[in-house]
């Protein structure tokens, strides 16, 4: 029970990778804040966790909205007193070739994936700085490291997260806060389910381990980065991609 008496807030945790992270940290004793825009799914996830005997509750928050983010952090601290672990996991795609991409789809993806992580990091850091301890993990992507045709907005947002990770790691280190990122490869989730068969096949061919990852693979990496075992690791980008990029 590595995370007993620790509070973990995961954005976009109603389903997919965020949910797997919540389950993993809960199974090791953390109190969980499920935060999402999909409240029915968020409540269902909380119920699943509670049924297993884990402490969890849900708060609705759109990470791209500064007022929502402020309220989310305030409510979390009011309920659990501390905020020890925060995972910027919420993310969306609006894929199309760059030449055809609308300004609206560019802004939407950057607002949620990158500005959302900035707003969350800023609000969380204020609490963690007072505590003089904390762990922040940003869910970036292999696509932020290598680019991907049809994902100019998404890859830019995920590359931006790498810069945010390193800058905030430098700013917060003296307060006992580590900030790291995970760059997943192709993970089976509702986000990747909708990709065309040929795109899935291409990713499979390029992945050295010849299988797609599972949300639990990312959750295991998060559990390591937020543990005491990783206390000397900050500003790093951990690739969990099955050898898609080396
Ligand atoms: P998903 O679509 O299943 O989950 C994303 C969650 O984020 C959803 O619950 C959604 O409601 C929530 N969300 C969307 N907009 C939000 C907002 N404005 N505020 C709060 N929550 C919001 O996708 P997933 O595959 O579980 O992805 C989780 C994260 O992992 C994303 O950041 C994604 O970019 C990243 N990622 C996924 C893969 C993959 O292969 N699946 C690869 C690399 C990175």
- Rounded to an integer, the average pLDDT of 211-226 is 98
At 37-95, the pLDDT tens digits run 999 999 999 999 999 999 999 999 999 999 999 999 999 999 999 999 999 999 999 99
Domain around 156 = 7-240
Residue 217 located in a structural domain: yes
What was the pLDDT predicted at 108? 99
Q: Can you tell me which atom of ligand 1 is nearest the CA of 41?
A: 9
CA–CA gap between residue 73 and residue 44 (Å, rounded): 21
What was the pLDDT predicted at 194? 86
Residue 206 located in a structural domain: yes
Protein residue closest via CA to atom 44 of ligand 1: 141
Burial class (CB in 10 A: 0-12, 13-18, 19+), 186: buried
- Rounded to an integer, the average pLDDT of 234-246 is 98
Q: Can you tell me which atom of ligand 1 is nearest the CA of 215?
A: 26
Does 154 participate in catalysis according to the annotation?
yes
Residue 2 located in a structural domain: no
Residue % of the chain over a pLDDT of 70 = 100
Task: Return the best residue to mutate from 91, 188, 195 for the ligand 1 pocket (most ligand atoms within 8 A of CB).
Answer: 91
Residue 197 located in a structural domain: yes
User: CATH number of the domain that 119 lies in?
Assistant: 3.40.50.720
Residue 228 located in a structural domain: yes
Domain count along the chain: 1
Nearest to 116 by CA among 177, 168, 71, 161: 161
At 168-180, the pLDDT tens digits run 999 999 999 999 9
């Amino acid at each position: 029970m590595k995370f007993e008496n620790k509070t973990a807030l995961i954005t976009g945790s109603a389903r997919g990778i965020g949910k797997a992270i919540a389950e993993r940290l809960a199974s090791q004793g953390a109190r969980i804040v499920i935060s999402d825009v999909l409240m029915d799914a968020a409540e269902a996830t909380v119920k699943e966790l509670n049924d297993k005997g884990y402490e969890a509750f849900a708060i609705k928050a759109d990470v791209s909205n500064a007022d929502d983010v402020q309220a989310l952090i305030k409510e979390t601290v009011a309920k659990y007193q501390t905020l020890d672990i925060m995972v910027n996991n919420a993310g969306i795609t609006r894929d199309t070739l760059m030449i055809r991409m609308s300004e609206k789809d560019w802004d939407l993806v950057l607002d949620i994936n990158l500005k959302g992580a900035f707003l969350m990091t800023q609000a969380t850091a204020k609490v963690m700085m007072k505590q003089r301890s904390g762990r922040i993990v940003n869910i970036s992507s292999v696509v932020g490291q290598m680019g991907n045709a049809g994902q100019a907005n998404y890859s830019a947002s995920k590359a931006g997260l790498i810069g945010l990770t390193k800058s905030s790691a430098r700013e917060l280190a003296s307060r006992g806060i580590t900030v790291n990122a995970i760059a997943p490869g192709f993970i089976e989730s509702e986000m990747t389910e909708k990709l065309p068969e040929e795109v899935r096949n291409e990713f499979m061919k390029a992945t050295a381990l010849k299988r797609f990852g599972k949300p639990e693979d990312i959750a295991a990496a998060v559990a390591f980065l937020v543990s005491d075992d990783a206390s000397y690791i900050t500003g790093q980008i951990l690739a969990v991609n099955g050898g898609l990029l080396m």
